[in-house]
Homo-oligomer: A and B are copies of this chain.
């Protein structure tokens, strides 16, 4: 097999986050599901933004956050996603390239603006996301560069990509190329409501194309429509080579064949949970590409996730490489 040029290539929605504090009453008033990712259109985005407090902007997007985290750990990443050539598109492009990530997907020149996610952080540090997909709806199979997929040890896909209609084709094309090239395919289920929208497709993907699966408790239970975490765990271990199931403050469970590891969360002051799962995936994938055992990869994942939740916004604000090293990993 040819030498890999990238540790991980990610395909995902290219989004700028707009992050503000809010109380629970504001969520109730808006009628949005706390903790979930809700899709909104341009008009709804403008209306919600007008009601939101002063905010902070920074690059986001679940999969893009993971690739940014991988780069911060010292891994070589590539990203495929769609922005418009506008100010927020420039921000997204700058930030991911500044980390050394290869990002060459052509921007759109007209049509909807660069995607943004209006994130409300409640006093319990929980984040509630409202996403205007904008330019992401233009991502299609032509944006998937077979050379990059073939040259990446792992192709990482976010479940959210199933929402914009054409992106799903990009998703399937990439997974197929990766499989045929003898590379690994990783998937995050993204959000339990996203699983609700695309359950049959996700089940099919997980059983046929996915080598490494990330899900939180709600997502994996939704995927298999079971009432307990353990039931979901018993099903998924028959389906995937490697599964990492995250449980917020209760840590995570990693299953690979006969191996099962229960990993503690790394204690930290929790400011904003945005990006916790994304950086967990970054740490885990980085560990796998470095050939460490599953337990060590899980511990790296926990350290990276703890960094994400210690500040506003999903991207690391310190070198994850140095942080992981300081934990003796």
Interface residues of A (CB under 8 A from B): 20-21, 49-50, 52-59, 68, 86-88, 91, 94-96, 98-99, 113, 312-313, 315, 317
- Given contacts A52-B94, A53-B98, A55-B58, could you give 14 more A-B pairs where the C-beta distance is less than 8 Å? A49-B94, A50-B94, A53-B99, A54-B59, A54-B95, A54-B99, A55-B91, A55-B94, A55-B95, A56-B57, A57-B58, A57-B91, A87-B88, A87-B113
Q: Kindly identify which residue among B56, B87, B95 contacts A313, using a CB–CB cutoff of 8 Å.
A: B56
Could you list some 15 contacts between A and B, CB below 8 A?
A21-B317, A49-B94, A50-B94, A52-B98, A54-B68, A54-B94, A54-B95, A54-B315, A55-B58, A55-B94, A55-B95, A56-B56, A56-B57, A56-B313, A86-B87
* CB of A70 to closest CB in B, whole Å: 13
- Cα–Cα, bound, A219→B50 (Å): 38
* CB of A86 to closest CB in B, whole Å: 6
Cβ-closest chain B residue relative to A313: B56
- Cα–Cα, bound, A91→B68 (Å): 24
Cβ-closest chain B residue relative to A46: B90
* CB of A319 to closest CB in B, whole Å: 10
Contacts of A87 in B (CB 8 A): 86-88, 113
Q: A58–B56 contact, CB under 8 A?
A: yes
Q: A54–B98 contact, CB under 8 A?
A: yes
- Cα–Cα, bound, A40→B263 (Å): 50
Query: Which of A59, A94, A96, A317 has the most C-beta atoms of chain B within 10 angstroms of its own C-beta?
Result: A94
* CB of A214 to closest CB in B, whole Å: 23
